[in-house]
């Protein structure tokens, strides 16, 4: 029945002179999906449309995951003459009745083109009269109808009865490029998703301590990155072995400082990777007070190890909120698989929650920090995740 898909844009419609840049990013990402199917898009008074009668459900599923889209709607495209609209409304109602028990209806018109001779209220009344005349058993219910036929008047007329919520946000690449410190836990994939939803192009770095950590831990991170790539496209994933760094920390530093010093190493490594590749910032999944390394004091000491901005989209969220998002984006079940990462393997029994920067720096003086970092980066592995 449907022969078109309409795409409603999100907050980018509020942009000023740079709105075109946002729309160009979005249309490029939509085209990556539809060109494989031999389709093309066009604009009609603020919305994007794709004409097709094939695989509409599959196409909607793919398109609604693109950031910057608030709704994807299957439509029946028809002409603007009242008779054409009337006949199309009847056809759509017949089709809906074949697929469900419908006793009440409502017509809801919207004129994006204000030059159309009928006002919306008049069109609602006249089209409702056509339906009542053709279907003698139907009744109008403006408050709780079994079906609402929406009439969207633009340069063409588009009829629809349901719409599917998109991911919203801003198109990828409109807010720079970041490096996510991605563990195998619940939080960091959610943080990555939330920043991608704000238009950030993602890259990820994960830290392991093979052979003390299992190869399955890296497989788990790879799977989580693949889940994110559904929304974000290709992601570069950097694997960094921290074993030599942890060995030196445990040899020369107090045990209760291990977590903070190791975290400072991770930040420095992330910053060097980011600077070498001209990424704009680091992204982490920390939530204030969740664990010892995420207290206000700890975060301050960790942040002081780098100059690059660190974005923490989960900082004010509680665990239940984070878990809900992880379930929605499909990362939760993989995140809870019991494969330990290097942070948990080398975690001290009683980590500091109120570290002092001067004492941490004094301990770090016993370690050749940059030689260890350079060695870890030289041995780093890189994988492109589609």
Residues annotated within the binding site are 181-182, 206-207, 263, 285, 294
304-313 burial, b at 16+ Cβ within 10 Å, e below that, comes to ebbebebbbb
Extended strands (E) in the chain: 4-9, 41-44, 47-51, 69-78, 104-111, 139-140, 147-153, 157-160, 164-168, 177-181, 201-208, 235-241, 281-283, 310-311, 381-385
CA–CA dist 228, 326 (Å, integer): 11
Residue 363: name the closest of 293, 297, 292, 264 by CA: 264
Q: What is the DSSP string of 210-259?
A: TTTS-HHHHHHHHHHHHHHHHHH--EEEEEEE-HHHHHHHHHHS-GGGHH
CA–CA dist 72, 209 (Å, integer): 44
What is the C-alpha R_g of the chain? 27
Known binding site for ATP: residues? Answer: 181-182, 206-207, 263, 285, 294
The neighbouring-strand residues paired with 149 are 107
Burial of 112 (0-12, 13-18, 19+ CB in 10 A): middle
């Amino acid at each position: 029945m449907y022969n078109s898909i309409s795409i409603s844009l999100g907050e980018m419609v509020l942009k000023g002179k740079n709105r075109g840049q946002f729309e160009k990013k979005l249309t490029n990402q939509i085209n990556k999906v539809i060109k494989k199917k031999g389709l093309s898009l066009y604009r009609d008074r603020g919305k994007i449309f794709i004409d097709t009668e094939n695989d509409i459900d599959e196409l909607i599923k793919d398109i609604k995951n693109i950031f910057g889209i608030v709704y994807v709607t299957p439509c029946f495209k028809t002409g603007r003459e009242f008779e054409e609209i009337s006949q199309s409304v009847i056809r759509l109602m017949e089709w809906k009745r074949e697929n469900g028990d419908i006793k009440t209806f409502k017509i809801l018109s919207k004129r994006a083109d204000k030059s159309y001779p009928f006002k919306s209220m008049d069109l609602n009344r006249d089209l409702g009269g056509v339906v009542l005349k053709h279907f003698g058993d139907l009744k109008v219910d403006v408050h709780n109808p079994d079906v609402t036929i929406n009439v969207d008047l633009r340069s063409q007329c588009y009829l629809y009865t349901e719409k599917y919520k998109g991911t919203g946000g801003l198109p990828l690449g409109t807010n720079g490029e970041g490096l996510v410190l991605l563990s195998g836990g619940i939080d960091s994939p959610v943080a990555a998703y939330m920043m991608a939803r704000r238009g950030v192009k993602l890259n990820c770095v994960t830290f392991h301590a093979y052979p003390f950590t299992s190869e399955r831990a890296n497989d788990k991170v790879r799977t989580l990155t693949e889940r994110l790539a559904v929304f974000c496209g290709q992601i570069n994933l950097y694997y960094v072995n921290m074993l030599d760094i942890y060995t030196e920390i445990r040899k020369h530093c107090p045990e209760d400082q291990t977590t903070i010093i190791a975290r400072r190493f991770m930040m420095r490594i992330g910053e060097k990777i980011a600077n070498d590749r001209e990424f704009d910032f680091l992204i982490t999944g920390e939530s204030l007070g969740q664990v010892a390394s995420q207290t206000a004091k700890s975060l301050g000491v960790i942040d002081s190890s780098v100059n690059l901005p660190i974005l923490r989209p989960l900082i004010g969220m509680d665990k239940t909120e984070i878990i809900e998002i992880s379930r929605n984006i499909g990362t939760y079940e993989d995140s809870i698989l019991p494969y330990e990462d290097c942070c948990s393997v080398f975690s001290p029994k009683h980590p500091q929650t109120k570290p002092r920067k001067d004492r941490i720096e004094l301990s770090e003086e016993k370690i050749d920090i940059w030689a260890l970092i350079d060695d870890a980066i030289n041995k780093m592995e890189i994988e492109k995740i589609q």
